[in-house]
Structure 1
């Protein structure tokens, strides 16, 4: 058995458990606090932490295979851990230090890390309204963040801010700290349970050793990593669409007077539709796997001490592959989410089935980074040898 297959088999029971009530959670909009706690207890949140720190020591290829399977059960759960696993990846690849060891030990002990990066402020692109300023009592954090995916379920949150010198920093802050307010106000029509709403920081005291200076522009696969988490969740949706189509058709007893067979499962037109759904899911899976392979290569290179231009040469293909995968995975899953309804009649739109959740969730994932920008970047790469952007920010023009 391969390493990936072994990991998938090991976590399948807990994934099945957290996915058991996924439709009911969707219909009631019940946040998956219990399910996140179960994933934590099962060791999933520390699966990539090095073994010497008490983690599973798995490479990115294993993590993303697991995220896709988790997304198959509930893509909200796969996405809400996006910043957590990105934080772990960055920490693993950072230079040896007491702070690195402490942070990895925290995650190995069960800590979950949330995100507070993006804003809905008047700050320009590349700047932030959130500030970390010195005071007689120490450092103080002030600001309002949105798209704080996963923070409702996190013990600590990594906050992007500007210090007194205008430099970008990242502060690791307990979500239970005085002055931190995590608000459940995410209003998206999909991925409703990711906790992607507002986090407010009002004069929050921050320890000096909890602050790291953010390095933008150096070789890093961090941008590709966070995009591939979204693609893993989308690929999981593609698999779930096939699962739901098969289950729906196999149970279906009603048919049409002009149908091609006595039952839906014997109807060649329905069979063709299910086959097409399977191929679309396969396409998404293949693109995801191809892109993730580059992350394994990047981690191996960095672990071996590769840096500078040599590392940039390793990471550049990862960025390009991730952009290509976005242009394959997301359209394939969105097409499947619509084609799904061709397997049945009006009963397929029953709200109790919530089959519409697949399109809403996939469309929400796809809207994070409009595909037109990715296609243009790839065209610029091929025509003008311009590297695909490895990191970006949002803000006022």
Structure 2
């Protein structure tokens, strides 16, 4: 079982506010290693963007054998970050020249839990604080990466294999697909948009009333750079804080007189928890009637960020229940199905009050799969590929069209 863990740590007062602290992808137990996974595997990067700017690649993360943060060069050699400072100090230049448009290049991926960034036309600015690497935070208008077109993929390579995904948890930007070549020579891929899907997403977001168009960031020359996630939309004031209140209130009202049944583990259908709202709090009981965890009524930030009042610790009770609740709120399935998680994507995003950012991303994906919010993997609707004996990974940069 793969559990995706999105950790956000805010560095107060920093112009780059998101610190990489620990794994971006945390793999659970039970994934068989079909053959010994080598120390590094090739990552083939293909530039199908049709853009003429210089491409820069970065492979940043945590070395799993030591827990040290650092970067890998094109050969897959690990380099630990030097000590940072307060205020943050510039990080070493970890950029790797990427292939020109229409070309491919191959680098090596070490046993990391981390990110492969790519940027067009300009190198990204990374800094180091005493807590580790400070990453781009383009929701901040003064962030030095604000006007750079860039994106990233997340991956974990360990003794049980490779997990690699595309992600829109923080933003939707320069499109790409990821893939893996299996031991038998076959390949699996995900993350590709439908033809016209890039512009289709932005056009759909512009047409969504209620402030959703305000998530779009452009350069002064009019170039569309990205759409911020709704969580960052709340933080920047692009979306009103009350954007999810109507739906949240209806859910709380419904389950004050009925029961929400959560079956959080697909491989353990007998493990069920039962939620009822009493005194404004949703209490979950187990089969014996004992209260196992409780949730205050969430707000939009809790829903979009899957945090705060929907915090999901990496345990076996509250975390799995919270993940399921978070997915149900974002997909607006909690009123139409009192047994969660909802198995059918056909039921997702049907309420007028929903995560329209996630809805529009999924609608433009060729396979329907995406990481449009932190727990989009509930029910396996995420854009992730895995293999226990990977021969090669792929990162394909697609046109902005």
TM-score range normalised by the length of the shorter chain: under 0.3
Q: TM (normalized to structure 1)?
A: 0.27
TM-score, normalization: structure 2? 0.26
Tell me which protein shows more strand as a share of its residues: 2
Structure whose alpha-carbon radius of gyration is higher = 1
Q: Which has the larger helix fraction?
A: 1
Structure with the bigger RCO (C-alpha within 8 Å, sep 6+) is 2
